[in-house]
């Protein structure tokens, strides 16, 4: 099928964008190189997408550098207005964006429609409103001096995003950076560039000046690495694996870029014996199976009090087995395919890793048998009981619909398990005991804790991790601070300063 036929087949009204977006225009890569982006439902080719090389990144940085003075000096409210307009356009094109995201990533349409697109619009709207809310400060210094603090944008920022929530992460990254007055060179993941390119189109429509936002799909090892190294880029913000995060830190050293990292996680989701069991079962399924488990904050370690473990698992396994796997573009699908074949294989390999260490597969552990899903990257909801919290499946991020079950006897053991990994991103707990809940929240080595819920996000609430889950925070006022630097300005109003040197 050609691109126009695919477009029609999935109900898209407008062309699928597949070129780089530099200085306000869609252009081919200088080298002419392209790479196919696939539909993970059946691994058919959707589009050949231009792949940026060094020259293209250089052009994008040049465009962003040229656009920076005017954009950063524009009235903050006017920058905000463009982001607010973009949020409206995202809502006006909601179905288009939802279908495109489902096609390219495998997100079930009900997720793309109900979560990805509304959250993307909400994020741009939040930061549109935030643009003129971040204020400087005045410091009460010595008599006779006025010391004020300016919050200034950094300049050109590089942003590298992964394939698990491409649309939503585009807004998490670009919203605060743009509101604060920075210009951007963003690289989407090579396997999921389509929704980000569509956002670029809508940005132009919203009145974004040329060069403020540049999108350079390409290989991480080429375009991503070059962005991290680039001397013209003041900061790099990255979401992805911890291993790549380390590489980015090293690459950033050349010009001492500011770095912000949102890396992997191995979320502990603890269920105490006094929890509302039904709420905990439903919430724990959401924690791991939403988006096929491809979430850094997934509740991928299910830590159960031994008194309720059997009853909980009974209900949880029944729920997991009832989840409807299918074509993401079918509105009744609850779980789609993983986003790539390579990743599907990686996730399934962990089933063997679990068995080798004495783990027991309680559900799933394989692809579905339905013939219409045979060519896709599907994995059944998988529940594995591990022997120890030290096992690989209890320590390493699987990033799929794969949950590792562990049990505990008392609060101290629950906390020991929760804090036993190098990661520290999201975590959760289910209990009716108020004191225990707050105590656990205090002691958990994590950037986010959910009590009697899991995986809540909001544009106003800081998102990020500790330990090997990275540093820096997305969203909220924190994100605006991450994309600005403080300048301290001293004014001698009427200070009595001796002529040269204070004499005793
Ligand atoms: P990854 O390699 O970290 O990829 C994330 C992004 O970084 C992609 O855009 C990637 O480009 C780019 N990249 C790769 N190497 C780079 C480099 N040397 N310099 C700059 N950018 C580079 O993640 P992955 O390989 O796709 O996934 C592997 C694992 O990472 C997953 O299984 C999961 O454990 C973790 N992960 C975590 C998150 C999260 O939300 N925290 C998201 C995705 C993955 P390409 O497009 O070429 O890959
Ligand atoms: Mg794809």
Pocket test for ligand 1, best of 240, 257, 347, 474 (most atoms within 8 A of CB): 240
**For the CA of 345, the nearest ligand:** 1
Domains 3-263 and 268-451 share a fold: no
- Closest ligand 1 atom to residue 469 Cα is 41
Ligand 1 touching residue 192 (CB < 6 A): no
Domain residue ranges in the chain? 3-263, 268-451
Write the CB contacts of 155 (distance below 8 Å, at least 6 apart in sequence): 65, 68, 182, 183, 233, 234, 235
Active site residue 123: no
Please, what CATH class does the domain formed by 3-263 belong to? Answer: alpha beta
Task: Evaluate whether 474 touches 296 at the Cβ level (below 8 Å).
Answer: no
Residue nearest (by alpha carbon) to ligand 1 atom 6: 162
Output the pLDDT for position 194.
98
- List the chain residues with pLDDT less than 70: 502-504
Catalytic residue, candidates 262, 380, 474, 482: 262
Q: Give residue 503's pLDDT.
A: 65
List the CATH code of the domain at 268-451.
3.40.309.10
Q: Quick one: pLDDT at residue 82?
A: 98
159 close to ligand 1 (CB < 6 Angstrom): no
Q: Which residues of 78-93 are buried (b: 16+ CB within 10 A; e: fewer)?
A: ebbbbbbbbbebbeeb
Q: Is 248 in the pocket of ligand 1 (CB under 6 A)?
A: yes
249 lines ligand 1 (CB under 6 A): no
Q: Which is the catalytic residue, given 96, 123, 190, 296? A: 296
Active site residue 152: no
Angle, alpha carbons 140-145-151 (nearest 5°)? 65
| Closest ligand to Cα 40 | 2
Q: Is 219 in the pocket of ligand 1 (CB under 6 A)?
A: yes
Q: What is the pTM of this model?
A: 0.97
- Measured in Å, residue 438 CA sits from the centre of ligand 1 at 34
Q: How far apart are CA 484 and CA 275, in angstroms?
A: 43
For residue 502, the model assigns a pLDDT of 65
């Amino acid at each position: 099928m050609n691109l126009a036929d695919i477009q029609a087949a999935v109900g898209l009204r407008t062309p699928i964008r597949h070129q780089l977006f530099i200085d306000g225009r869609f252009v081919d890569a200088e080298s002419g190189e392209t790479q196919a982006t696939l539909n993970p439902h059946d691994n058919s080719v959707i589009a050949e997408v231009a792949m940026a090389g060094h020259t293209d990144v250089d052009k994008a940085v040049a465009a962003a550098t040229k656009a920076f003075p005017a954009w950063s000096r524009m009235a903050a409210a006017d920058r905000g207005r463009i982001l607010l307009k973009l949020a409206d356009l995202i809502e006006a094109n909601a179905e288009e964006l939802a279908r495109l995201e489902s096609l390219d990533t495998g997100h079930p349409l009900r997720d793309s429609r109900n979560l990805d697109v509304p959250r993307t619009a909400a994020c741009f709207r939040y930061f549109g409103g935030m643009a003129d809310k971040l204020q400087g400060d005045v410091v009460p210094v010595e008599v006779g001096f006025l010391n004020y603090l300016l919050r200034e944008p950094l300049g050109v920022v590089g942003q590298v995003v992964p394939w698990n929530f491409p649309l939503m992460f585009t807004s998490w990254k670009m919203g605060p950076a743009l509101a604060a007055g920075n210009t951007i060179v963003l690289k989407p993941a090579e396997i999921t560039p389509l929704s980000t390119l569509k956002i670029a189109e809508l940005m132009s429509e919203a009145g974004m000046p040329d060069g403020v936002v540049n999108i350079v799909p390409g290989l991480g090892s080429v375009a991503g690495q070059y962005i991290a190294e680039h001397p013209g880029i003041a900061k790099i913000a990255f979401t992805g694996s911890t291993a790549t995060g380390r590489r980015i830190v090293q690459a950033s050293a050349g010009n001492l870029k500011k770095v912000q990292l949102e890396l992997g996680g191995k979320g502990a989701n603890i269920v105490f014996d006094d929890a509302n069991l039904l709420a905990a079962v439903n919430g724990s399924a959401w924690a791991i199976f939403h988006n096929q488990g491809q979430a850094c904050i997934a509740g991928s370690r299910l830590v159960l009090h031994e008194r309720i473990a059997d009853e909980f698992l009974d209900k949880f396994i029944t729920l997991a087995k009832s989840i409807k796997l299918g074509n993401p573009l079918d509105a009744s699908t609850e779980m789609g395919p993983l986003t790539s074949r390579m990743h599907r294989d990686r996730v399934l390999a962990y089933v063997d890793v679990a068995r080798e260490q004495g783990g027991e597969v309680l559900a799933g552990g394989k692809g579905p048998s339905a013939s219409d899903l045979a060519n896709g990257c599907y994995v059944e909801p998988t529940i594995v009981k591990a022997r120890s919290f030290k096992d690989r499946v209890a320590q390493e991020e699987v990033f799929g619909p794969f949950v590792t079950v562990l049990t505990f006897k008392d609060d101290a053991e629950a906390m020991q398990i929760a804090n036993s990994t190098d990661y520290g991103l999201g975590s959760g707990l289910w209990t009716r005991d108020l004191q225990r809940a707050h105590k656990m929240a205090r002691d958990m080595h994590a950037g986010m804790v959910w009590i009697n819920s899991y995986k809540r996000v909001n544009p106003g609430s800081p998102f990020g991790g500790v330990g090997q889950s990275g540093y820096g925070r997305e969203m909220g006022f924190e994100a605006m601070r991450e994309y600005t630097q403080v300048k301290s300005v001293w004014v001698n109003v009427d200070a009595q300063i001796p002529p040269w040197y204070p004499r005793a």
